[in-house]
Amino acid sequence: MNKYAIILAAGKGTRMKSDLPKVLHPVCGTPMLQHIINKLKKNDIDKIIVVIGHKSDKIRETIQDDVIFVEQTEQNGTAHAVLQAVPHLAGKEGTTLVITGDTPLIEETTLESLLQEHTNSRSKGTVLTAIQNNPTGYGRIIREFNSVTDIHEDNKLGNVVGIVEEKDADVSQKKIIEVNTGIFAFDNQTLLEGLPKIENKNVQNEYYLTDIVSVFIEEGKEFGGYLLQDPNEAMGINSRVQLSEAETIMRKKINQKHMDNGVTIIDPSNTYIESEVMIGNDTIIYPGTVIKGNTIIGSGVTIHSNSEIQNATIGNYSIIRQSVIHDSVVGQYVQIGPFAHIRPKTAIKNKAKVGNFVELKGTTFGEGSKANHLSYIGDSKVGDGVNIGCGTITVNYDGKNKFKTIIEDGSFIGCNANLMAPVTIGKNSIVAAGSTVTKDVPEDALTISRTKQENKEGYATKIKNRR
Mean local confidence (pLDDT), 438-464 = 92
Asked if the structure places residue 459 within a domain, the reply is no
Q: Is 396 annotated as a binding residue?
A: yes
Residues contacting residue 153 through CB under 8 Å, at least 6 positions apart: none
Asked if the structure places residue 349 within a domain, the reply is yes
Q: Is 77 annotated as a binding residue?
A: yes
The residue among 173 and 278 whose pLDDT is bigger is 278
Res. 466: pLDDT tops 50: yes
Are residues 311 and 197 part of one domain?
A: no
Asked if the structure places residue 455 within a domain, the reply is no
Res. 157: pLDDT tops 60: yes
- Structural domain containing residue 322: 240-447
Q: Is 316 annotated as a binding residue?
A: no
Q: What is the pLDDT of residue 298?
A: 99
Res. 150: pLDDT tops 90: no
Radius of gyration of the chain (CA): 31
Asked if the structure places residue 269 within a domain, the reply is yes
Res. 231: pLDDT tops 70: yes
Are residues 439 and 400 part of one domain?
A: yes
The residue among 154 and 313 whose pLDDT is bigger is 313
Are residues 279 and 213 part of one domain?
A: no
Mean local confidence (pLDDT), 180-185 = 96
Q: Is 387 annotated as a binding residue?
A: yes
Q: What percent of the chain has pLDDT over 90?
A: 87
**CATH number for position 295:** 2.160.10.10
DSSP conformation class of 85: T
Q: Is 10 annotated as a binding residue?
A: yes
Query: Residue 373 catalytic?
Result: yes
Are residues 244 and 205 part of one domain?
A: no
Mean local confidence (pLDDT), 26-44 = 97
Are residues 129 and 42 part of one domain?
A: yes
Tell me the DSSP string of 222-287.
Answer: -EEEEE-S-GGGG----SHHHHHHHHHHHHHHHHHHHHHTT-EES-GGG-EE-TT-EE-TT-EE-T
At which of 234, 268, 291 does a domain end? 234
Cα gap 396→12, rounded to integer Å: 47
Mean local confidence (pLDDT), 291-298 = 98
Are residues 228 and 114 part of one domain?
A: yes
Are residues 306 and 211 part of one domain?
A: no
Q: Is 159 annotated as a binding residue?
A: no
Are residues 402 and 273 part of one domain?
A: yes
Cα gap 3→40, rounded to integer Å: 10
Q: Is 238 annotated as a binding residue?
A: yes
How many domains is the chain built from?
2
Are residues 329 and 203 part of one domain?
A: no
Res. 240: pLDDT tops 70: yes
Res. 304: pLDDT tops 80: yes
Asked if the structure places residue 113 within a domain, the reply is yes
pLDDT-derived band at 393, boundaries 50, 70, 90? very high
Cα gap 276→297, rounded to integer Å: 12
pLDDT-derived band at 156, boundaries 50, 70, 90? low
Catalytic residue among 35, 326, 341, 373: 373
Are residues 152 and 247 part of one domain?
A: no
**CATH number for position 212:** 3.90.550.10
Q: Is 91 annotated as a binding residue?
A: no
Asked if the structure places residue 462 within a domain, the reply is no
Q: What is the pLDDT of residue 144?
A: 84
Q: Is 78 annotated as a binding residue?
A: yes
pLDDT-derived band at 204, boundaries 50, 70, 90? confident
Asked if the structure places residue 403 within a domain, the reply is yes
Are residues 336 and 295 part of one domain?
A: yes
Asked if the structure places residue 467 within a domain, the reply is no
pLDDT in tens, 242-292: 999 999 999 999 999 999 999 999 999 999 999 999 999 999 999 999 999
Mean local confidence (pLDDT), 39-58 = 96
Q: What is the pLDDT of residue 317?
A: 99
Q: What is the mean pLDDT of the chain?
A: 95
Side-chain-side CA neighbours of residue 236 (13 Å): 21
Q: Which of 109-118, 145-154, 208-217 has the lowest mean pLDDT?
A: 145-154
pLDDT in tens, 61-105: 999 999 999 999 998 999 999 999 999 999 999 999 999 999 999
Are residues 216 and 294 part of one domain?
A: no
Mean local confidence (pLDDT), 307-336 = 99
Mean local confidence (pLDDT), 231-236 = 93
Mean local confidence (pLDDT), 215-230 = 94
